[in-house]
Structure 1
């Protein structure tokens, strides 16, 4: 029985590691190879504080969590600038550095000899000095860590993580703070890994560098992939299979001289079969209604929806967003030169010009995705130069993209809910200190999202995955997502491209109604019929400069502009 309890303890440790790693890989889409190093930090911190300083429980555990969380910021900060294989290299470097410090700082870590004599948990005369007894602590640790991860992922913060995973620029464009989310998820994942490390040190009464190599990270990653990325239960299942299966294979009757090799072959074949027939993992990520953690049939007061859709101005058209003498240079190339534009409430402004004129660059400048080389941008008379995109959304400026950038693996209603402003559940402290407030607001937000979907006539598609929508429906979802931000200035990059006349007749009134409600709208569009049919004022941009400003009819009748446009 002691052997079974020992395997159960190992399962608990690896389930904690797989759950914490799944937060990074599955939910946040951040692929890092330093998880074993953070596991080691938890183990060594506990070992040093208990053997050298004799600190009692729970001080070593808390210190392990905090130290690993702080160290994880070393990964999070460069992760804001790099991604993909660059992030892998950065995190792998941390893994190497941590192990080298452990091996070479002999006076603190014991070097290659490690640290032995780590005391186990004891409460009075009751010591957890057997696998059966220690299993109690391991199960409590797993339960606590799983609950923390579950609380995070089944919340507005978890939904924001998935949006960031889908597309970072789109997440910023709806007001999500990418810096906060990356730093938070790295720190929490590291803290949970440190819990497993602290338990490891207490259970084995010994820590050594050999237990925390890069192979451990790969082993944990295999658990996540096998069980299912983006699914916490899948991570636990993957840990159970990879910990228990090798032990079960030891009981197969085989010739002694080939037993070890045959077990490895069988083990590999089982894993390959799972990956071939279930590439998404045994328990794939939840989708549709299952991914929502509150009911979505609540009703919201129509007045609340109207308040979100209405601009902050009265019936008089006023200048809301203004860019003056904007210039943007990329090295020796000038993309924008002396460009000025004013967006007014209750009006739809068109931005036209030939391909390569700098229209999208102008949008990037106005919405904070690029910083102008020269010029000034004011929102209601106050400068917004240097503000990050998510700060501009909170201030009242939101934009779409030419390539849509929807969160395609999320549902239609999730695409809208994630963009709603001032969500208490985006702050981790609120998830644990104010859970009832977060849940009540989430219920209100889902009802509000349904009202917005009704406004664009997509309420019937609320629980379908965005990837399953038609192209026209995707365009409407882009509009709905921008509306959810509550911004009074909405910038649409080619919202009508690729649509037939029937669909145009459905979408154009939506934009017109938004303008009537007080929004300041600007659209980039190549379809001149759309420009003439919906725009109140048009800016003609060419060679990065404002060539002309006027009504659509005035600009269309100018032969010089027509020659430039069609050249």
Structure 2
């Protein structure tokens, strides 16, 4: 029986590791290969605190978690500014560095000899010195770690993580602090991995660098992929399969001399079969209504449009956002030169010009995605040129993108909810300290998001995945998401491109309503019918300069502009 309890202990340890790793790669989209290093930090911290300082439970466990979170935060601040394969390389370097420190700091870590004689857990007179007793402790730790991860992903913070995973720039454009979320999830994942490391040290009473190689990270990654990326239950299932399956194969009657090789072949075939027939894992990420963690019945608030769209203070035609003599250079290339624009409250402003004129670059400057080489950007007279994109959303400036950049793996309702100001979680502790208050705010957010969807006539598609919408519906969802930010300045990058005339006339009233209720609206558009139909004023941009400003008819009747662009 002790052997079975031993398997149970291993399952609990790896289930914790797979759950914590899934937070990082499945929900946040951060593909890092340093998880075994974080596991090692937890194990060695516990070993050092128990053998060298004589600390008793729970101090070694708490010390391991806090040290792993602190160290991962310090490392994450520079490392998480890169993405994709660059993050893989940086995290792999971290894995190598940690192991080299362990092997070479012999006075602290024992080097290649490791650290032995780690005492077992003591709870009063009860000593956890048998596999069965330790399995109970490990199971309790698994339940607690799983619950922590579940609270995180079933919260506004978890929704923000999934938005960041789907598209970072779009997440910034709705006001999410990407760097904060990356560092926070990296630290939380490290803390949970350190729990498994601490348990490992006290169960085996010995730690060495051999137990925490890159192969261990790949093993944990296999559990996540097999069970299902973006599904916590899948992480536990993947851990159970990869821990138990090799032991079950030992019961097959095979020739002694080739038994191990045949077991490896069978083991590999089973894994390949699962991945072929279930490429998203045995338990794929929930979609649609299954992804929502509060009752959909709470999402039907029929607040009037005045309350939804009203902008505070100011008079119609008041200049809200202004760019003065903006310039942007990329090395020797001048993308924007001496560009000026003013966006007024209650007005729709058009930004017109040929391809390559610098229109999108101008949008990027006004919304913080690029910093100007020269010039000023003023919001209500205050310079905002150095603010980050998410800070500008909080200040009242939001934008869309030409290629839409929806959160395609999330529901239509979640796409809107993630943009609501009250959903930008910056205090993770509140999720655990005031769960009922968080739930009430979630229900309020759902009601407001449903009203916004009703405003753009998408409420019937609220619980469908955004990837399933038609192109016209995707355009409406972009409007809804931008409206949800509560910003008073809304910048749309080609919101009507690719739409037929019938759909255009359905969207026109939505854009007009935004201006009628005090929003300052700016649109980049190539369709001259859209410009004439919607815009009160047009800025013509060419070669990075403002060539002309006026009403649509005035510009289209300008002989020089007509020769350059309109004909």
TM, length-normalised to structure 2: 0.98
The aligned residue for residue 516 of structure 1 is 516
CA distance in 1, matches of 2:414, 2:254: 53
**Structure 1, 312-321 or 530-539: larger mean CA deviation:** 312-321
CA distance in 2, matches of 1:371, 1:412: 32
Structural mapping, 1:412-561, within 5 Å: 412-423=412-423, 425-561=425-561
CA distance in 2, matches of 1:299, 1:258: 61
SS in 2 for 1:63: helix
CA distance in 2, matches of 1:491, 1:366: 9
Cα deviation, 1:90-111, whole Å, max 9, x if unaligned, reads 0000100000111111111111
8 Å Cα contact 2:160-2:424 kept in structure 1: no
Question: Could you say if the C-alpha distance between residues 176 and 133 of structure 1 is closer, same or farther in structure 2, counting changes exceeding 3 Å?
Answer: same
Structural mapping, 1:62-211, within 5 Å: 62-211=62-211
Cα deviation, 1:291-340, whole Å, max 9, x if unaligned, reads 11001222565447633422224553211000100000110011100000
8 Å Cα contact 2:176-2:424 kept in structure 1: no
The aligned residue for residue 374 of structure 1 is 374
8 Å Cα contact 2:305-2:455 kept in structure 1: no
Aligned length: 567
CA distance in 2, matches of 1:279, 1:21: 19
The aligned residue for residue 36 of structure 1 is 36
8 Å Cα contact 1:234-1:281 kept in structure 2: yes
8 Å Cα contact 1:296-1:447 kept in structure 2: no
Cα deviation, 1:265-292, whole Å, max 9, x if unaligned, reads 1100000000000000000001111111
Q: Is 2:344 the partner of 1:348?
A: no
SS in 2 for 1:297: helix
**Deviation at 1:75?**
4.1
8 Å Cα contact 1:425-1:431 kept in structure 2: no
SS in 1 for 2:297: coil
Q: Is 2:376 the partner of 1:394?
A: no
Cα deviation, 1:430-471, whole Å, max 9, x if unaligned, reads 101111111000001001100000000000110111111110
8 Å Cα contact 1:321-1:344 kept in structure 2: yes
Question: Could you say if the C-alpha distance between residues 316 and 305 of structure 1 is closer, same or farther in structure 2, counting changes exceeding 3 Å?
Answer: closer
CA distance in 1, matches of 2:57, 2:386: 47
**Deviation at 1:81?**
2.5
The aligned residue for residue 238 of structure 2 is 238
Question: Could you say if the C-alpha distance between residues 60 and 73 of structure 1 is closer, same or farther in structure 2, counting changes exceeding 3 Å?
Answer: same
Question: Could you say if the C-alpha distance between residues 292 and 549 of structure 1 is closer, same or farther in structure 2, counting changes exceeding 3 Å?
Answer: same
SS in 2 for 1:404: coil
> Which ranges in structure 2 are unaligned for 5 or more consecutive residues?
none
CA distance in 2, matches of 1:256, 1:410: 51
Question: Could you say if the C-alpha distance between residues 426 and 297 of structure 1 is closer, same or farther in structure 2, counting changes exceeding 3 Å?
Answer: farther
Q: CA RMSD in A?
A: 1.2
CA distance in 2, matches of 1:120, 1:304: 64
**Deviation at 1:72?**
1.2
Cα deviation, 1:194-236, whole Å, max 9, x if unaligned, reads 0000000000000011000000000000000000000000000
**Deviation at 1:427?**
2.8
The aligned residue for residue 324 of structure 1 is 324
CA distance in 2, matches of 1:299, 1:83: 36
Cα deviation, 1:133-192, whole Å, max 9, x if unaligned, reads 111110111011001100000111000000000000000000001011000000000000
**Deviation at 1:531?**
0.2
Q: Is 2:18 the partner of 1:22?
A: no
**Deviation at 1:424?**
6.6
8 Å Cα contact 1:354-1:566 kept in structure 2: no
CA distance in 2, matches of 1:460, 1:139: 43
